[in-house]
Amino acid sequence: MSTSPHVAVLTGGMSLEREVSLRSGTRIATALTEGGLAVERIDVDRDLVARLGAGGYDLAVLALHGAAGEDGTVQSVLDLLGLPFSGSDALASALAWNKPIAQGVYAAAGVRVPDRIVLSQLAFRELGASAVVDRVAETLGLPLVVKPSTGGSSLGLSVVTTAAELPAAIVAALSYAEAALIERFVPGTEVAVTVLDGRALPAVEIVPKGDRYDFAARYTAGRTDFHVPARLDEAAAAACEAAALAAGAAAGARHLYRADLIVDADGAPWLLEIDTCPGMTETSLAPMAAEAAGVAFPDLCRTLVDLAVRDRAAA
């Protein structure tokens, strides 16, 4: 491989997060091109394998969000092609994508996660689970967070304050995934810790101007206020970093990932999930954290290339 590799930036795809992925991919490809690399931005579709096989690429940088791009599917294809890529491998990606399973892994590693219950579409269809939905509120208490068991960008997420709201929230979550993850609501400060090559970057505090940090608040400039570093005391900030690193190690995440957490009134962090292919748009948290650590966006993108090259050389 040459010192100036030929890079395929994989973006787009057909997930519900396609438009965000296109924004991330365009921004990464532009930064790498301006940095002197030969880059092609590839909108992932059924011709992906043929295009990668014919393109003479040295590596791929992933800017894919949502199913196929984050669940290990594309990563497995790239492994079969022998093409190194940025971000977590297929196993870590698949694990982090499935929130209920991942939370079990994080908890086993000593990371604090909210109490939770998982209800699948199969349970409703075949086991009559709808008859015991009222037990969920009794078991976990109120309020509750209901979200799809897979996916990101807060799509299909609801916060319910009464048991009567639960059925509709579960139906909404099941419209995005095969199972609904129902968690005890943890009040506190919402923060994100990005990890770059094993180094925790400054935590970003998220303060949406509306009720919550939903899809619009994530990707519309001016809808959310951010504080970098987060307004946490030293002990809470260190605890957030430790939780992010421990969860990432438990999942086998690598290169670049983002841990989403809630810091409660006692300063204790609760891990919600890990995003193994975080957004790289103008409003995304990972580039924001990198900038606060003195890593400009073009350098962050070049680091992803270098990490893919490094791991290929070490393999």
> Contact at 8 Å (CB) between 62 and 84?
no
Pick the CATH number of 6-86+298-314 from 3.20.20.120, 3.10.520.10, 3.40.50.20, 3.40.47.10: 3.40.50.20
Average pLDDT over residues 240-269: 98
- Which segments of the chain belong to CATH 3.30.1490.20? 116-184
Q: Specify the pairing of strand 179-184 against strand 158-160.
A: unpaired
Mean pLDDT for the chain overall: 92
Q: Say how many C-beta atoms besides its own lie within 10 A of residue 296's C-beta.
A: 12
Query: What is the CATH code of the structural domain delimited by 95-112+187-293?
Result: 3.30.470.20
- Which segments of the chain belong to CATH 3.30.470.20? 95-112+187-293
pLDDT in tens, 106-153: 999 999 999 999 999 998 888 887 788 888 999 999 999 999 999 876
pLDDT in tens, 84-101: 999 999 999 999 999 999
Placement of tokens 């606060």 in the chain = 292
Q: Which residues pair with 192 in a beta bridge?
A: 204, 260
Beta-carbon contacts of residue 154 (< 8 Å; ≥ 6 apart): 147, 212, 213, 214, 215, 218
Residue 214: pLDDT over 90: no
* Model pLDDT, residue 16: 84
**Per-residue pLDDT band at 315 (split at 50, 70, 90):** low
> Contact at 8 Å (CB) between 253 and 39?
no
User: CA 100 to CA 118: how far, in whole Å?
Assistant: 7
* 201 alpha carbon, distance to own chain's centre: 16
- Return the structure tokens found at 127: 């086991």
* 164 alpha carbon, distance to own chain's centre: 30
pTM given for the model: 0.93
pLDDT in tens, 60-84: 999 999 888 899 999 999 999 999 9
DSSP state of 85: B
**Per-residue pLDDT band at 194 (split at 50, 70, 90):** very high
* Model pLDDT, residue 295: 98
* Model pLDDT, residue 129: 78
- Return the structure tokens found at 230: 């987060």
Q: Among 183-192, 217-226, 230-239, 261-270, where is mean pLDDT lowest?
A: 217-226
Angle CA 69–73–75, to nearest 5: 80
* Model pLDDT, residue 132: 82
* Model pLDDT, residue 128: 80
* Model pLDDT, residue 126: 83
User: CA 126 to CA 240: how far, in whole Å?
Assistant: 40
- Which segments of the chain belong to CATH 3.40.50.20? 6-86+298-314
* Model pLDDT, residue 1: 47
Placement of tokens 């394998």 in the chain = 49
Kindly calculate the radius of gyration of the chain based on its CA atoms and give it in whole angstroms: 19
* Model pLDDT, residue 125: 80
Average pLDDT over residues 275-302: 96
Pick the CATH number of 116-184 from 3.50.50.60, 3.40.50.1970, 3.30.565.10, 3.30.1490.20: 3.30.1490.20
